Structure 1
Amino acid sequence: MAERPATIRENGRAKAYRPLPEAARRAAFASALEAYERGDFFLAHEILEPAWMGASDPAERALHSGLIKVAAAFVHAVRGNAAGVTRNLEGARTRLRNGLAAGPAFGIDVAAVLVQVELSLAAVGRGGSPSPVAFTPTEVGVR
């Protein structure tokens, strides 16, 4: 039997998401990290969305949502939109803080990612360009 898609669409737009098994969420997370590392921030954002909506654990949802915002921030950075970078990094900060209590998830040290989000926000606040936030396990350390 074919697996049903995680996304339920109506008129071409996502209406709802079905719960995804952990293996599918982990695979999506790994694919999103690969896209992010290549600088394909938009694709990383798109890949993470169904995983975020398909998770039931609040800490996991907060992590996915925060990383979606980080990826969206760098879509704006590529386009030279400082306001979009700031807005999305601030949203990422809020969401990632909500996921902090759970500790590392999917090999990501959320506290280390938050430090980098703050550094990027400070760079944009000074009129500079933010460096993409490193959040892969090899960059921030797996616990």
Structure 2
Amino acid sequence: MTGRTVVGRDGRAKAYRPLPAAERAAAMEAGIAAYERGDFFEAHEHLEPAWMGSDEPVERSLHQGLIKLAAAYVHAVRGNALGIAKNLEGARMHLADAAAGEGRGHTGAPDVPARKVRLDLPSLIAQIDERRHRLTLDPTDATIDPPTLTRSPR
């Protein structure tokens, strides 16, 4: 890891605190496990250090997308449909970047921990799109119905 400045989509420098690959992978797995248990706040808390600990754009996009997804359902638990909508929009954008192998400053790094997780991102994005569509039909729908995180075949 280089420790270089990481720049977000908005052009602003983002926090970057190097975290070893094994620790990022463990944080990712802990975040996914918390999400799958329905503990969305805890999922966010596990994923954030992994996101801030990587300078690889695709990995950061995946982490940030999952953070936004978890945050959407923190808002659902609180009954905040607008918070769901805003965070699902961000989740979709970041996960689409990760699925495309993109991300601001992508260098094509060969093997980052996020890729080892092998989430089925097209399925996840489709579920997010469906939920976003339902929110356009009923902007007050704060149903707690998180997308399923499915692992793609190895």
TM-score range with shorter-chain normalisation? 0.7 to 0.9
Query: What is the CA-CA distance between 1:21 and the residue it aligns to?
Result: 1.4
C-alpha distance after superposition, 1:53-78 (max 9, x if no partner): 11121111000000000000000011
Give unpaired runs (5+ residues) of structure 1: 1-14
Query: What is the CA-CA distance between 1:29 and the residue it aligns to?
Result: 0.6
- Report SS of the residue matched to 2:100: helix
Q: CA RMSD in A?
A: 2.0
| Structure 2 counterparts to residues 38-49 of structure 1, below 5 A | 38-49=37-48
The one-letter code matched in structure 2 to 1:30 is: E
Partner of 2:119: 108
Partner of 2:91: 92
- Whether 1:133 aligns to 2:147 is yes
The one-letter code matched in structure 1 to 2:28 is: F
Partner of 1:71: 70
**TM-score, normalising length: structure 1:** 0.80
- Report SS of the residue matched to 2:34: helix
Query: What is the CA-CA distance between 1:16 and the residue it aligns to?
Result: 4.2
The one-letter code matched in structure 1 to 2:90 is: G
**TM-score, normalising length: structure 2:** 0.75
CA–CA distance in structure 1, aligned partners of residues 134 and 46 of structure 2: 27
Aligned residue pairs total 126
CA–CA distance in structure 2, aligned partners of residues 44 and 136 of structure 1: 16
Does the Cα contact within 8 Å between 1:32 and 1:45 map onto a contact in 2?
yes
Structure 1 ranges of 4+ moved more than 3 A: none
Question: Structure 2 vs 1, CA of residues 37 and 93 (structure 1 numbering), >3 Å: closer, same or farther?
Answer: same
Give the percent of matched residue pairs that are identical in Structure 1 and Structure 2: 50
CA–CA distance in structure 2, aligned partners of residues 130 and 121 of structure 1: 13
Give unpaired runs (5+ residues) of structure 2: 1-13, 103-113
